[in-house]
Amino acid sequence: MSKGTCREELLSATRSIVKSKGDNRFTPKEAIEYMELNNTGYKESTIRTHITSRCCKNAKHHHGVTYNDYEALGNGEYKVINL
């Protein structure tokens, strides 16, 4: 995984996860575990915030800058918008 901003690392991780599963669904837990296995420098809370808020198109926006990278599907699952 290439190192970079949390968003960049997270997009790389989630794209790898859904491609390996053959299903465009992932959980924050899967993304966190993947990033930790790949020696991320980001805390679990930072990764989770990016998935559930900062980078989720259908979340309430509490940040100055937001992105439409993920969509919440319910039941704690998300999908990558642009594979």
pLDDT tens sequence across 72-81: 999 999 999 9
2 DSSP assignment: -
Q: What is the pLDDT of residue 1?
A: 47
pLDDT tens sequence across 55-71: 999 988 788 889 999 99
Q: State whether residue 4 is helix, strand or coil.
A: coil
End-to-end CA distance of the chain: 16
Amino acid occupying residue 73: L
How many CB atoms are closer than 10 A to CB 57? 13
pLDDT tens sequence across 8-49: 999 999 999 999 999 999 999 999 999 999 999 999 999 999
- What predicted TM-score, i.e. pTM, was given to this entire model? 0.91
Residue 2 has pLDDT above 60, yes or no: no
The full set of domain ranges for the chain reads 6-80
Retrieve residue 37's tokens: 């296995």
Q: What is the pLDDT of residue 4?
A: 87
